Structures are given as structure tokens and as C-alpha cells.
A and B are shown apart, each in its own frame.
Chain A
Amino acid sequence: MAESRPQIEARGLVKTYGEHRILDGLNLSVNRGETLVILGASGSGKSTLLRSLIGLGRPDDGSVLVQGIDIFSTDRLSLKALRCRMGVAFQGGALFGSMTLAENIDLPLSEFTGLPASTRRIITQIKLGMVGLEDAMDLLPSQISGGMRKRAALARALALDPEILFFDEPSAGLDPVTAAGLDLLILQLKKVFHVTLVVVTHELTSAFSIADRLALMHEGRFLIIGSPADVQKSKDPIVRRFLDRLPEDKRKTSDFYQRFIEEEGDAQSIPEVDNES
């Protein structure tokens, strides 16, 4: 199923905000045709990782290679060509509010293909038909539901038939039936187009149903990367807590407070007390 040549490689990614290390020397590789699901609690660093992988957020250290091209050091034209082989479906859809769904999907086609308008219109119909929105072509994003927006975003991400598809939180904010429908759609697309998929989510059901491999993030690091079965078998307490949906113990020990007294000696410098990374 998956070939050995990595489509995406992240090497030693480090990203810090102030003194907080969001990405802590992450290494990752995704093979052709593989579906990697990056799991993690809110604030674990998965969105920052995704932004680095798609070239939106430059890491403080490390590199990201997509199809062998360093996304942060390549020239503008190579990056433009590479981006045409990548599709990204954002969490909220990020559809252009002033354009209809058809115009949203037509935008990358008109910018990069040079096809006549009539042909582009047919392709747009096909792409929207793939996600079940062929009847909503001329509606604005504000006129459709959240689930439809996510599907339309997926259709736009697929407009140029990308080889790599990134999907940010596909099930977030959706009812279970719509979320299951979207998971099924992702599986069908994978089967038909053999795209390499990177999905970021915190929805366990969705993650286990679509993943070839799962990577669980915690405090900027991967606790485990493996098949769904491997992850399910993990005995790591943090992995278990996440999988078994156990609440985090937010109580602080006296050592926690002692640290601030010793390090800072100033009550004003105490950061927000929050155990979530």
C-alpha cells in the first residue's frame, strides 16, 4: 500500500513561544499513499506542527521536506509548483466569503491551469459532486451548514488533484452522523485518488477509522507513532489517559509553586496556571 519514499519529512522541528516550547525537536515522515493522523489534546502543538508542514509557520529550528523539497528554503517558483501538488482543507473551511462555492473551487483552476471557463465549470461540478454538493454550487459559504463548508473546503483542496492532502480537524464541531459521513468520504477519496493524507484531529473515533498510522502528540513531542493497533495497545499512562478519555489531574503539587518562588521571586511573573500544554 504505502511506498518507502517519504512524501513528507520533518526533521528536528522546534518552535517556541516565549519560554514555552510548542514543538520540541519533532521528527516525522509520511510515505506515499499513507494516511497519517496526528492526534493530541488541545494545546499539544498539533496545529503548530500542521502549519509548519504546510509552510505557513516557519519553525525556529529544523526543516520540512515535501517530496524532497525544503519548503522553507526553496525558491518562490518551486514552492508555487509544490503548492499546486498539495491541498489543504482548513478547520473552519476558510472558504472565500465573497465567492460562491463554485467560484471558490474555480479559483485555483483559473489561476494555475489555463483551462477555458466551460471546462473549469465542468471540473468544478465534478469536484463538488464528489463531496455531494453539486446542488449547492451557486450558494455562498454563509448560506450553508458547517458540515457542508468542510466538504466544500475538501472539494477546493482537491481542485488541482493534489498528491498530498492536509486536513485540519475534519470532524470538529460536527454531529456524529455528519462526522462519520466525512470520514467515509475521506476513505473513499483515499481509495480513488491514492493521495497521501495528513489529518490533524482530536476525535478518536474519526482517527481510528481513517488512519494507517497514528501519531499522538503531547507537549510538543510524539508520545507514540504507530498503527492504530499499536497505539491501542500502548501502556504509556498519557496515551492511555487520552485514549480512555480520562480527565487530567489539574491539581498542583507544592513543588510546582516552589519552582516559581525559587526561579522568579516575583509573584507577577507567574504564568497562567494551566496544566494543558
Chain B
Amino acid sequence: MIKIFIGGVGHKVLGLLAEAGGLWQLARASLKRLLVGPFHSDPVRIRSTIFLMVKAGYDSLPLAALIALLTGMIMALQSAQQLTEVGAIGLMPNLVAASIIRELAPLLTAIIVAGRYGSAVAAELGTMKVSQEIDALTVMGLDTISFLVVPRILALIISLPCLVLFADFVGISGGLIIAVGVLNLGANGYMQSTFDTLGMEDLAMGLVKAFVFAVIIALVSCQQGLKTRGGAEQVGQATTISVVHSIVLIIAADLFVTAIFYLKG
């Protein structure tokens, strides 16, 4: 029984290490194509990248905005309740803005994008793999990583930070709506308090997180799509795994980036 348990754990660990190794290889190959490719008649595919930016960023705007608005409102109500008890309601705008910009906007927007765009990428590449479209690209002499992976990574690296900035704005606006409409605070005072407390470091932390999360989502979804074998069922599995792995890695990376900024002071 113990043997089976240890064997099972070992099997899982080896599987995770293999996944990590695969991600690392894909990241290295993509970076190499991005930096060296243009000098070897393998340019970055700008049109494809712009098309994918629209899919990853613009198409996710309404959902990201809605979630950010609601989160800002919830944060305002939650913090107002706690801060009123200690007589520090004046700190509410600072708390809402810091939470949104440093943590909630990047995290929630990344989770939305992992669900919308990451799953779509895994499904698309998985379907291409099982229907031999990837093989067709290879025998044509087209490099799969340059043609499919690099534009998907670039598109997300550009569009996710933009989405996060937008979510920051909407999230703070959500807090403002509650402050003015429910808590009867002044709009000018709220905004002044927000801008006074926020520094470049807060914005930088949010954007660094957005960049890291973008890399994670793009790499995981491409890797899961490209390693799909079999048929429709496996495409579904790849899609699910890409979302689950992305979310777990996003949260782990969130802790890592937050810790670095904390230690940096």
C-alpha cells in the first residue's frame, strides 16, 4: 500500500518535472526564434500578432472590465466595513487602489485571459495537431514555433498589461461609485487620496505581474496544444489542463513577484 502511494507520488513528481522541462524548452526555443529568427529570414509575424492581440486583448475587454468594476465595488464595501470600525474610513481609497493595482487587477484579469484566450489557444493548436495541420506546416518548411507560438506569446505580452491598466482604471472607478453612491464620500477627495498614495512602484508591480502571467498563459496553452495526441477527447483534456496549470502557475508566480517587491522594500 505504502509502495503504491510512494510510487504514485513519484510518478506525479516526475510528470510535473517533465511538464516544467517542456515549458522551459518551449520558452527557450521561442526566445531564440524571437531574437535570432529575423536574421535568418524568419521574421516576426506582425499581422498574425496584431490579429491575436485583438483576440486576446480587445475581445476580453468587456469581461475584464465587468470583473474589475465588481471587484472594485466589493473591495470598497468590504474595506469600508472594517475601516469604519477603527475610525479610518479615510484610508479606504488607498486600500482599494493598492489592492486593485498591485494584486487584484493583474490576478483576476490573468485568470480571465487564461480561461478565454489560453483555452482557445490550447484547443486551436490541439485541433491543428490531431488533424495533421502542424505536420503540414512542418513539411512546408515553416517553423511551428515561429509561425504559431511566437505570435501568441507576443500578442499576450503586449495585450495583457494593457488589459490590466484598463482593469486598474475600471476597478478604482468601481470603488469610487461605492464611495460616492453608498458611503457618501466626496469624489474629489477619493481621487485625490488615491493618487496621493499610489506610486510608480505599485504600477510597476502590477505590470511586472501582467508580463509574467502573459508569458505563463501563452507558454502553457501552446505547450498543451502542441503535445496533444489522439482526437477530440484529448483536445478537450489539453484545454482543461492548460487552464488549470495556467491558474496554478499564475498564483505561484504572483506570490514570487510579490515577495521580490516586498524584499526589495
Binding site for B on A (CB under 8 A): 54-56, 76-77, 79-84, 86, 88, 90-92, 94-97, 107-108, 111-112, 156
Q: How far is the CA of A56 from the CA of B132 in the complex (A)?
A: 11
- Contacting pair A96 B133 (CB below 8 A): yes
- Contacting pair B131 A97 (CB below 8 A): yes
Q: How far is the CA of A92 from the CA of B129 in the complex (A)?
A: 12
8 interchain residue pairs of minimum CB distance: A83-B141, A94-B132, A94-B136, A80-B141, A88-B139, A90-B132, A108-B140, A94-B133
Q: How large is the interface on B (under 10, 10 to 19, 20 to 34, 35 or more residues)?
A: 10 to 19
Q: How far is the CA of A256 from the CA of B220 in the complex (A)?
A: 46
- Contacting pair B138 A56 (CB below 8 A): yes
The answer, yes or no, to whether B40 is at the interface (CB within 8 Å) is yes
Q: How far is the CA of A83 from the CA of B135 in the complex (A)?
A: 12
- Contacting pair A111 B132 (CB below 8 A): no
Q: How far is the CA of A81 from the CA of B41 in the complex (A)?
A: 12
Q: How far is the CA of A108 from the CA of B128 in the complex (A)?
A: 17
Q: Answer whether A79 and B139 are a contact pair too, CB < 8 Å, given A92-B132, A96-B133, A97-B133.
A: no
Which residues from chain A contact B140 at a C-beta distance below 8 Å? 83, 107-108, 111
Q: Answer whether A83 and B40 are a contact pair too, CB < 8 Å, given A92-B131, A96-B133.
A: no
- Contacting pair A56 B135 (CB below 8 A): yes
A104 to chain B, nearest CB (A): 9
Q: Which of B40, B135, B141, B142 contacts A94 (CB 8 A)?
A: B135
Main secondary structure of the interface of B (DSSP, over half): helix
Q: How far is the CA of A95 from the CA of B133 in the complex (A)?
A: 6
A-B contact pairs, 14 of them (CB 8 A): A56-B138, A77-B40, A79-B141, A84-B141, A88-B136, A90-B132, A90-B135, A91-B132, A94-B132, A94-B133, A95-B136, A96-B136, A97-B131, A97-B133
Contact string, B113-157, partner A, CB cutoff 8 A, digits 1/0? 000000000000001100111011011111000000000000000
A156 to chain B, nearest CB (A): 8
- Contacting pair A83 B133 (CB below 8 A): no
Q: How far is the CA of A69 from the CA of B212 in the complex (A)?
A: 42
- Contacting pair B139 A86 (CB below 8 A): yes
- Contacting pair A90 B127 (CB below 8 A): no
Instruction: Using CB atoms, name the residue of chain A closest to B141.
Output: A83
Which residues from chain A contact B136 at a C-beta distance below 8 Å? 88, 90, 94-96, 156
Instruction: Using CB atoms, name the residue of chain A closest to B134.
Output: A94
Binding site for A on B (CB under 8 A): 40, 127-128, 131-133, 135-136, 138-142
A84 to chain B, nearest CB (A): 6
Q: Can you name 17 extra interface pairs (CB under 8 A) apart from A54-B139, A90-B132, A97-B131? A: A55-B138, A56-B135, A56-B139, A88-B136, A90-B136, A91-B132, A92-B131, A94-B131, A94-B132, A94-B136, A96-B136, A97-B127, A97-B128, A107-B140, A111-B140, A111-B142, A156-B136
Q: How far is the CA of A90 from the CA of B130 in the complex (A)?
A: 12
Which residues from chain B contact A111 at a C-beta distance below 8 Å? 140-142
Which residues from chain B contact A95 at a C-beta distance below 8 Å? 133, 136
Which residues from chain B contact A84 at a C-beta distance below 8 Å? 141
A153 to chain B, nearest CB (A): 8
Q: Which of A83, A96, A112 contacts B139 (CB 8 A)?
A: A83
Instruction: Using CB atoms, name the residue of chain A closest to B124.
Output: A98
B138 to chain A, nearest CB (A): 6
B48 to chain A, nearest CB (A): 11
Q: How far is the CA of A194 from the CA of B133 in the complex (A)?
A: 27
Q: How far is the CA of A56 from the CA of B141 in the complex (A)?
A: 11
Instruction: Using CB atoms, name the residue of chain B closest to A88.
Output: B139
B41 to chain A, nearest CB (A): 8
Which residues from chain B contact A96 at a C-beta distance below 8 Å? 128, 133, 136
Which residues from chain B contact A86 at a C-beta distance below 8 Å? 139
A155 to chain B, nearest CB (A): 13
Which residues from chain A contact B142 at a C-beta distance below 8 Å? 111
Q: How far is the CA of A79 from the CA of B131 in the complex (A)?
A: 23
B114 to chain A, nearest CB (A): 22
Q: How far is the CA of A107 from the CA of B141 in the complex (A)?
A: 11
Which residues from chain B contact A90 at a C-beta distance below 8 Å? 132, 135-136
Q: How far is the CA of A55 from the CA of B137 in the complex (A)?
A: 12
A8 to chain B, nearest CB (A): 14
Instruction: Using CB atoms, name the residue of chain B closest to A98.
Output: B124
- Contacting pair A55 B133 (CB below 8 A): no
Q: How far is the CA of A111 from the CA of B128 in the complex (A)?
A: 19
A171 to chain B, nearest CB (A): 18
B111 to chain A, nearest CB (A): 26
Which residues from chain B contact A156 at a C-beta distance below 8 Å? 136
Which residues from chain A contact B139 at a C-beta distance below 8 Å? 54-56, 83, 86, 88
Q: How far is the CA of A100 from the CA of B117 in the complex (A)?
A: 23
Which residues from chain B contact A107 at a C-beta distance below 8 Å? 140
Q: How far is the CA of A54 from the CA of B127 in the complex (A)?
A: 21
Q: How far is the CA of A79 from the CA of B141 in the complex (A)?
A: 7
Which residues from chain A contact B131 at a C-beta distance below 8 Å? 92, 94, 97
B101 to chain A, nearest CB (A): 37
Q: How far is the CA of A97 from the CA of B131 in the complex (A)?
A: 9
